[in-house]
């Protein structure tokens, strides 16, 4: 089989090479993203593998159809940047990697939470200013004394619940599609009650349209004074302007943002583009009770290995069996 991969990062290349060696398949990889122009490189290949945050536009699927390439597998979970209507129109079938390493993202959310509970941003700011005495005045909170509200109880949310519960926290959760059976580590509540009861709100829901600004001014108004919000999920979940306003007023004690609402190719590829100009980002970056990171919660050795191997195996399954267990036929729930 001949497979072409797009959006290849330096850390993935060793796994691409090893996979090709292990399976005997032909694999050509490119660092460029998949778009209406680069898709032309796929002519003559059996399937396409990709990873990117930029859109998969209709023109990509039109040309895949023309080249008789029926299958696209992506090395990540989110499909909100894929034109599903065009994909179906041109008969392209899609698979993602829904669980490459739930622990990677859940652990990152926990890391941000602990950092904010102990006021480490404020501590570091004073140390850098040379005020050792003031740096020691920021009293923290213990996670075991907090109520954590986890939004989304899929693969990642379930791991997050176990981690928070392991620290002794009370955990409540919201999911429009709740798990069946017993779940002794947490109780389901309504979304409104989660906002009202939680000291920490941890997001693990998909970036589908109905979840856009699920954390908005109305949600912030329901939250406890001094609440902490963590988003390692999708960029569109939080109304950033409303969040900034509540940080400035003191209603929010802190936020951890790994998926920024206005993240772009420039933001996530600083090394390639040199700089990213966004006054809102810069303002948040200067706040000691805000933890920003460039969409790296998933980024561990285990996760990268699994993203490559799992997604390529899904493509092989498509090509040899005509199906794969992780096929995506519509927006995630």
Q: Is residue 310 part of a domain?
A: yes
Asked whether residue 154 falls in the same domain as residue 278, the answer is yes
Interval 195-252: pLDDT, tens: 999 999 999 999 999 999 999 999 999 999 999 999 999 999 999 999 999 999 999 9
Does a structural domain hold residue 297? no
- Are 145 and 277 in a shared domain? yes
Instruction: Based on the fold, state whether residues 308 and 194 are members of the same structural domain.
Output: no
Nearest C-alpha neighbor of 230 from the set 253, 196, 210: 253
Q: What is the spatial distance between Cα 211 and Cα 92, in angstroms, rounded to a whole number?
A: 26
Does residue 272 share a domain with residue 174? yes
What's the CA gap between 255 and 237, in Å, rounded?
Answer: 13
Same domain, 107 and 219: yes
Is 314 catalytic? The answer is: no
Residue 192: other Cβ atoms inside 10 A: 12
Q: Is 267's pLDDT higher than 60?
A: no
> Does residue 333 form part of some domain?
no
42 and 66 co-located in one domain: yes
Strands (E), 162-220: 170-174, 187-188, 200-203
Q: Which member of 75, 93, 155, 234 is catalytic?
A: 234
Q: Which residue, chain included where needed, has tokens 């040379």?
A: 130
List the CATH number of the domain containing 201: 3.40.50.720
Average model confidence (pLDDT) across the chain: 95
Has residue 145 been placed in a domain?
Answer: yes
- Taken in order 262, 267, 273, 275, the sign of the CA dihedral is positive
Cβ burial of 187 (10 Å; 0-12, 13-18, 19+) is exposed
In this structure, the answer to whether residues 222 and 74 fall within a common structural domain is no
Q: Are residues 23 and 119 in the same domain?
A: no
Q: Is the residue at 238 inside a domain?
A: yes
Q: What pLDDT score was predicted for residue 157? A: 98
- Is 19 domain-assigned? yes
- Alpha helices for 141-239 (secondary structure H): 155-166, 191-197, 217-222
Q: Are residues 161 and 275 in the same domain?
A: yes
pTM of the model: 0.87
* 118 is a catalytic site residue: no
- Would 85 be classed as within a structural domain? yes
Parallel/antiparallel/unpaired status of strands 2-5 and 200-203: unpaired
- The verdict on whether 209 is a catalytic residue reads no
State the catalytic residue, choosing from 62, 118, 295, 327. 295
Q: 228 and 111 in one domain?
A: yes
| Domains in the chain, number | 2
SS percent in the chain: helix, strand, coil, step 5: 45, 15, 40
Q: Are residues 277 and 310 in the same domain?
A: no
Same-domain check for residues 263 and 247: yes
pLDDT tens digits for 123-167? 999 999 999 999 999 999 999 999 999 999 999 999 999 999 999
Domain of 194 in residue numbering reads as 102-292
Residue 200: phi, psi to the nearest 5? -130, 130
Give one word for 310, left, alpha or beta, with left for phi > 0 and alpha for psi -120 to 50.
alpha
- Domain presence at residue 307: yes
Catalytic residue among 12, 75, 155, 263: 263
């Amino acid at each position: 089989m001949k497979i072409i991969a797009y959006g290849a990062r330096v850390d993935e290349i060793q796994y691409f090479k090893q996979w090709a060696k292990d399976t005997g398949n032909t694999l050509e990889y490119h660092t460029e993203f998949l778009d209406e122009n680069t898709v032309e490189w796929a002519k003559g290949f059996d399937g396409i593998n990709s990873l990117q945050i930029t859109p998969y536009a209709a023109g990509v699927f039109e040309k895949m159809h023309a080249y008789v390439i029926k299958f696209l597998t992506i090395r990540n979970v989110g499909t909100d940047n894929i034109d599903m209507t065009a994909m179906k129109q041109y008969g392209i079938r899609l698979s993602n990697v829904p669980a490459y390493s739930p622990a990677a993202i859940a652990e990152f959310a926990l890391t941000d939470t602990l950092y904010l509970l102990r006021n480490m941003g404020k501590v570091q700011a004073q140390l850098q200013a040379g005020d050792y005495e003031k740096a020691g005045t920021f009293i923290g909170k213990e996670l075991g004394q907090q109520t954590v509200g986890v939004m989304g109880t899929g693969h990642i949310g379930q791991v997050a619940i176990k981690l928070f519960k392991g620290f002794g926290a009370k955990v409540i959760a919201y999911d429009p599609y709740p798990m069946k059976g017993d779940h002794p580590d947490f109780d389901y509540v309504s979304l409104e009650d989660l906002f009202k009861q939680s000291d920490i709100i941890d997001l693990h829901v998909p970036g589908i349209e109905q979840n856009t600004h699920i954390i908005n001014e109305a949600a912030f108004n329901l939250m406890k004074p001094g609440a902490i919000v963590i988003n390692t999920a999708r960029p569109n979940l939080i109304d950033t302007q409303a969040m900034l306003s509540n940080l400035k007023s003191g209603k929010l004690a802190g936020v951890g943002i790994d998926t920024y609402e206005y993240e772009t190719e420039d933001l996530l590829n600083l090394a390639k583009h040199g700089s990213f100009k966004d006054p809102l980002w810069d303002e948040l970056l200067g706040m000691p009770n805000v933890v920003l990171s460039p969409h790296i919660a998933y980024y561990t050795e285990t996760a990268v290995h699994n993203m490559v191997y799992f997604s390529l195996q899904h493509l092989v399954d498509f090509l040899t069996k005509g199906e794969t267990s992780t096929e995506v036929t519509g927006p995630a729930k």
